A and B are shown apart, each in its own frame.
Chain A
Amino acid sequence: MSQSYNRGLIEDFGRWKEFSAGMWAWIFHKFTGWMLIGYLFTHIAVLSTAIGAAQGETVEVFAEDLPNVEGTGLTEVDIYTATLGGLEGLFIVRLLEVGLLAVAVFHILNGLRLLMVDLGIGLEAQDKSFYASLILTGIITVASVPTFMMGVGF
């Protein structure tokens, strides 16, 4: 047979404007899923400082710098508390946490939506439930900003 023409994937994504709700849901779910598993690895890495802490490893820090350390001036704390506190003290980390929350909330809500779909419930409303997930994610995220940002940076 004579040759034929393959338009390939690049052109495909050129059509993103024409994607439907279900497709966006799929893309977002994928994206958030990957973020979450990425975070899980990082999270365990950070928490691994607990091993050091349990073995008695400590560092000296300025208590004022760490939100989770009481007192003033140079203090000796365990490495776990220091690391977590150090991170929590950073504005950017808090911001990322809010992002993580958004990602997780969307993944959860859409995950619930997908579970419903798997059970064959409410298939007709699949697009509406996707929009609902998006909106709810937005609301929950905004609502939790105060809690997440408490006592940082400003």
Chain B
Amino acid sequence: MSTQQQEPETQEAPEDPEMKGAESPQQRRLKEKEQGLADEESVDESDLEGETVHIKVFRYDPEVEDKQEPRFDDFHVPFEKGMTVLDAVMYARDEYDSSLTFRHSCRQAVCGSDAFFVNGTQRLGCKTQISDLEQPVRIEPLPHQEVVKDLVVDMDHFYDQMHAVEPYFQQEDLPEGDLEEQRQSRENREKVKMSTRCIWCAACMSSCNIAAGDNEYLGPAAINKAYRFAMDEREDEEIKEHRLRILEQEHGVWRCQTQFSCTEVCPKDIPLTEHIQELKREAVKKNLKFW
């Protein structure tokens, strides 16, 4: 395959640096706006082979009169190779409507700010190629969380649940002496590795029907966080038992009904259900010991 022949479909030829000064940003913006509108009209007639993407974005703002009643806004965004859902909403915001609001930061799936409900699934905007989606692309805030504005949801409850599992290392008995680290076997690190990758995006929590129904349920992310510590051999047995006691409370691991949707949506591919199940077994084992 020739490497030179790709992407004839790129809509906008990359601008020549010299040209940029010549055309004022204002003109460019207007032109692009026009283009956006023009495409809007023609989008249905011809399959534009991905020249613009049609996105429908959920809008709500408690303070702005015509946004108090939630609605969907349509935007037509010029497609570029490699465009992600986040790129598309950023484009819509910067070029069409600066009040379009969403969280985002890293653009590389590490900050966990931009989990949205895209075409019916929880996904990270920055990690989702728009070309993989069916159009129009429907972008909504995460379900089961209160909407603050547009795509921004209230994360407080999620954070509360994360904090509820005492998400911090509690080993007090540390090796003495200069530069002495605690030893950990490779196998053990491997065991907790996936669980440490969580970026707190809340996609899992939003996909779980149990978490939706039971507000007190710790939820997959928090349980996974607890797993990360409970399985870490650097903490003593008693601490592990203490952790299991937190997890085996009524709204802890037992609430999980193994729906697997958390595992399916997790952008970091953490085997959440597996971790939760393992903790259930651990808790049972611990209780059996006392009988």
A residues contacting B by CB (< 8 A) are 2-7, 9, 12, 15, 17-18, 20-23, 25-26, 114, 117-120, 123, 126-127
Among listed B6-14, B86-94, B96-104, B270-278, interface-contacting one:
B270-278
**Residues of the B chain whose Cβ atoms lie less than 8 Å from the Cβ of A5:** 60, 62, 70, 146-147
Question: Given A4-B154, A5-B60, A23-B261, are A118 and B280 also a contact pair (CB < 8 Å)?
Answer: yes
**Residues of the B chain whose Cβ atoms lie less than 8 Å from the Cβ of A6:** 146-147
Q: Any chain A CB within 8 A of the CB of B258? A: yes
**Residues of the A chain whose Cβ atoms lie less than 8 Å from the Cβ of B281:** 118-120
Partner of B212, one of A12, A120, A127: A12
Q: Any chain A CB within 8 A of the CB of B209? A: yes
A to B contact number (C-beta, < 8 Å): 69
A-B residue pairs in contact (CB < 8 Å), sample of 5: A4-B154, A20-B259, A119-B281, A123-B273, A126-B260
Chain A nearest Cβ from B12, distance in angstroms: 33
Question: Given A4-B146, A20-B264, A118-B277, are A15 and B120 also a contact pair (CB < 8 Å)?
Answer: yes
Q: Any chain A CB within 8 A of the CB of B257? A: yes
Partner of A12, one of B121, B143, B260: B143
A15 to B62, CA, bound (A): 24
Smallest Cβ-Cβ distance to B146: which chain A residue = A4
B residues contacting A by CB (< 8 A) are 60, 62-63, 70, 120-121, 143-144, 146-148, 154, 209, 212-213, 257-261, 264, 271, 273-274, 277-278, 280-281
**Residues of the A chain whose Cβ atoms lie less than 8 Å from the Cβ of B278:** 120
**Residues of the A chain whose Cβ atoms lie less than 8 Å from the Cβ of B121:** 18
A26 to B212, CA, bound (A): 14
Question: Given A4-B154, A12-B212, are A22 and B260 also a contact pair (CB < 8 Å)?
Answer: yes
A51 to B62, CA, bound (A): 65
Residues of A contacting B: mostly: helix
Chain A nearest Cβ from B193, distance in angstroms: 17
Chain A nearest Cβ from B155, distance in angstroms: 11
**Residues of the A chain whose Cβ atoms lie less than 8 Å from the Cβ of B60:** 5
Partner of A18, one of B120, B146, B258, B260: B120
Chain A nearest Cβ from B204, distance in angstroms: 12
**Residues of the B chain whose Cβ atoms lie less than 8 Å from the Cβ of A4:** 62, 146-148, 154
**Residues of the A chain whose Cβ atoms lie less than 8 Å from the Cβ of B257:** 26
Smallest Cβ-Cβ distance to B257: which chain A residue = A26
Smallest Cβ-Cβ distance to A126: which chain B residue = B260
Partner of A123, one of B120, B146, B259, B271: B271
Chain A nearest Cβ from B264, distance in angstroms: 6
